[in-house]
């Protein structure tokens, strides 16, 4: 039995991960931690307990951990890369200050902690093709700085205090459920919405800019499998490269066009996002995750595109039939 607290449970990954954890761990409590203004709704609210847990508020974290006898914390609170660049102080406060709060509480209460890192933890001096697990990490964004700091801090707590910290470096995550907000890879979600709505897509990232991406079902599975992995087999902890597919805007556009032939795309490059994308790897080598805990992605670009388009058609048609009041 596990009692799990998800901090950031109403965000892009959190809302889906909370539901999946509730389906998989039916014996214990899976608590949706949210911040004011981002309260859980619908199925997320009704399917289990929720608590206001702001990662910058240690009192709220301790209260939730004690109330539900939490043994595992999924720390998903973060500002994504492009937003973090416009609010670097807040990004540090949440990404590093928040993580420190979580790790200190985990040390005292003996909780395991999952904190995702990102392809954003790499920078321009990192080898960009098939980026190795252990390599140069000198990011030039505040998002990346918080992610590298988070990896180091989490490894420190594991080594120094025996806190069971684990992590994966997420690529851009693509999903038809909750929209992302403020990421550099978000174009790869927005493009599907435009295609299904019959709108022209204005791409903020240049042709030829390759980034690693992953479909949400694989990302959710990775988050659970790493926490279930046999610790004696883990050489690394914070954080594992995981990979599923790497593409540029031309590749995703042409695959969508196979299914939506009238779909049009034009480039309207956003200099901030482009600079961030240019500093990130084109593709990651995830062989350590494969060897140490059996990681393997299931979705490639083709398989994901079929699934995204099918689900988005239903979702957007339902939204037209039942407009939000
Ligand atoms: C972002 O684009 O900021 C995120 C990420 C790759 O970490 N999706």
Q: What is the pLDDT of residues 138-151, one digit of tens each?
A: 999 999 999 999 99
Q: Which atom of ligand 1 is nearest to the CA of 116?
A: 7
Q: Supply the residue whose CA is at minimum distance from atom 6 of ligand 1.
A: 172
Gap from CA of 27 to ligand 1 centroid (Å): 33
Mutate which of 8, 185, 189 for ligand 1? The one with the most ligand atoms within 8 Å of its CB, which is 185
Mark the ranges of the chain whose per-residue pLDDT is less than 70. Answer: 322-325
CB of 192 closer than 8 Å to CB of 309: yes
Mutate which of 120, 171, 214, 243 for ligand 1? The one with the most ligand atoms within 8 Å of its CB, which is 120
Gap from CA of 28 to ligand 1 centroid (Å): 31
Q: What is the pLDDT of residues 228-279, one digit of tens each?
A: 999 999 999 999 999 999 999 999 999 999 999 999 999 999 999 999 999 9
Alpha-carbon separation of residue 88 from 50, 70, 294, 324 (angstroms): 29, 31, 36, 34
Q: Which atom of ligand 1 is nearest to the CA of 185?
A: 2
List pocket residues of ligand 1, CB cut-off 6 Å. 80-81, 118-120, 143, 170, 172-173, 183-185
pLDDT attached to residue 323: 57
Gap from CA of 198 to ligand 1 centroid (Å): 26
**Strand ranges for the chain from DSSP E:** 4-7, 30-34, 50-52, 72-75, 112-114, 117-118, 165-166, 168-170, 172-174, 201-203, 211-215, 240-241, 245-247, 265-267
Gap from CA of 101 to ligand 1 centroid (Å): 23
157 is a catalytic site residue: no
Here the tokens at position 277 are 């994308």
Distance CA 321, CA 147 (A): 41
Distance CA 67, CA 190 (A): 39
* Reported pTM: 0.95
pLDDT attached to residue 322: 66
Q: Supply the residue whose CA is at minimum distance from atom 4 of ligand 1.
A: 183
Q: Which of 143, 157, 176, 215 is catalytic?
A: 143
pLDDT attached to residue 244: 98
Q: Which atom of ligand 1 is nearest to the CA of 143?
A: 3
Q: Supply the residue whose CA is at minimum distance from atom 8 of ligand 1.
A: 172
Nearest to 243 by CA among 131, 116, 128: 131
- Token pair 């493009």 is at which residue? 191
Here the tokens at position 305 are 């595109």
């Amino acid at each position: 039995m596990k009692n799990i607290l998800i901090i950031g449970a109403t965000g892009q990954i959190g809302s889906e991960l909370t539901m999946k954890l509730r389906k998989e761990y039916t014996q214990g409590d899976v608590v949706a931690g949210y911040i004011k203004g981002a309260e859980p709704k619908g199925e997320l609210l009704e399917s289990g307990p929720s608590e206001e847990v702001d990662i910058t508020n240690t009192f709220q974290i301790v209260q939730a951990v004690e109330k539900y006898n939490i043994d595992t914390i999924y720390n998903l609170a973060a500002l994504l890369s492009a937003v973090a660049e416009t609010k670097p102080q807040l990004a540090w406060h949440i990404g590093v200050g928040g993580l420190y709060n979580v790790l200190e509480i985990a040390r005292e209460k003996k909780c395991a902690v999952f904190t995702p890192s990102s392809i954003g933890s790499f920078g321009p001096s990192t080898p960009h093709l098939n980026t190795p697990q252990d390599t140069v990490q000198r990011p030039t964004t505040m998002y990346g700085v918080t992610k590298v700091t988070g990896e180091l801090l989490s490894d420190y707590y594991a080594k120094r205090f025996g806190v069971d910290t684990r992590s994966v470096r997420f690529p851009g995550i693509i999903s038809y459920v909750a929209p992302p907000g403020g990421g550099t890879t978000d174009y790869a979600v927005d493009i599907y919405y435009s295609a299904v709505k019959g709108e022209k897509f204005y791409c903020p990232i240049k042709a030829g800019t390759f980034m690693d991406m992953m479909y949400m079902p694989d990302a959710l599975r990775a988050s659970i499998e790493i926490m279930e992995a046999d610790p004696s087999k883990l050489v690394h902890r914070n954080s594992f490269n995981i990979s599923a597919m790497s593409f540029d805007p031309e590749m995703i556009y042409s695959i969508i066009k196979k299914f939506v032939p009238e779909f049009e795309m034009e480039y309207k490059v956003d200099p901030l996002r482009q600079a961030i994308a240019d500093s990130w790897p084109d593709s990651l080598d995830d062989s350590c995750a494969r060897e140490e805990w059996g990681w393997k992605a299931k979705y490639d670009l083709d398989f994901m595109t079929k699934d995204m388009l099918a689900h988005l058609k239903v979702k957007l048609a339902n939204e037209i039939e039942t407009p939000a009041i």
